[in-house]
Amino acid sequence: MNSISVRALLVRGMLAGLIAGALALVVAYFLGESQVDAAIALEEAHSHDHGGGEEVVSRTMQATGGLATGVLVFGVAVGGSPPRVLLRP
């Protein structure tokens, strides 16, 4: 009888989460970022300059590194979570 270990199940779940996160990243980047950029442009067109200073994190870094980190870490975390935790009412 071949029984799979908990470690192997955890690794498989986390890899599946990583793959799902990568697919979600592609969708979010190509479908969502243009909408975010349009919203930022609209906000800047209607705002007044209050001399708030420079950005701490550039928009490019937010759209690439920040989005990738958030989506991939979330995918791995959900992939590694047991179904009992995810399906709790």
Report domain extents, the chain: 58-89
* Predicted local distance difference test score (pLDDT) of residue 82: 80
Using the CB atoms, write b or e for 58-77: b if 16+ within 10 Å: eeeeebeeebeeebbeebbe
Q: pTM for the full model?
A: 0.77
Note the pLDDT of residue 55.
82
Residue 1 — very low, low, confident or very high, per pLDDT cuts 50/70/90?
very low
pLDDT at 30 over 60: yes
How far are the Cα atoms of 23, 25, 29 from residue 36, in angstroms, in the given order? 19, 15, 10
Closest residue by Cα to residue 22 from 69, 62, 60, 66: 69
Length of the chain: 89
pLDDT digits (tens, 9 = 90+) for 33-89: 999 999 989 988 888 777 667 888 998 999 999 999 999 999 999 998 887 766 666
